[in-house]
Amino acid sequence: MRLRRSVLGATAAAALGAGLAVAPASASASAVTCGGWQNEGMFESYDEVKDDGRTAPIRKGPYGECAPVITLQGGYVVDIDCYVSNDYGNTWTYVSFKSVNERRYYGWIHDDHLAGGGSYERC
């Protein structure tokens, strides 16, 4: 994940240095799909929610527009599976979270909320 981000950042910086404008990836409202994103859920690794004062929603799909399943505070640990890139170019990791009452929640969390950057394995 870090390598992918640093390559993209270097490409954008080179384009800006050359006097070119870098436009963000765009997506139409119809491109946002919150259902049908579930997968095998191997969950062979874990990551920690950043403790940076923000909350971190686990969502039904890999878009900010998708409804949250649960919202976590910093410091919680989630089991991670794999990541996808949405139509906006943002990466989201499929996670599982076990609450104190033993209930298990599944969904997508934006990689920016994870201290380790999320999964390194594409779904």
Distance (Å) of CA 97 to CA 41, 58, 79: 12, 9, 6
What does the block give as tokens for 73?
Answer: 């505070």
Q: Which of 72, 75, 63 is nearest to 28 (CA)?
A: 63
Query: Which has more confidence, 30 or 109?
Result: 109
- Domain ranges in the chain are 2-113
Q: Integer distance in angstroms from the first to the last C-alpha of the chain? A: 13
Share of the chain above pLDDT 90, in %: 67
Per-residue pLDDT at 17 exceeds 50: no
CATH superfamily of domain region 2-113 = SH3 Domains (2.30.30.40)
d(CA 118, CA 99): 20
Lowest mean pLDDT, pick from 7-11, 30-34, 85-89: 7-11
pLDDT value at residue 5: 38
pLDDT value at residue 36: 85
pLDDT value at residue 53: 96
Per-residue pLDDT at 26 exceeds 60: no
- pLDDT, mean of residues 7-36: 49
Q: Give the angle subtended at the CA of 68 by the CAs of 67 and 69, to the nearest 5°.
A: 120
d(CA 61, CA 56): 14
pLDDT value at residue 30: 55
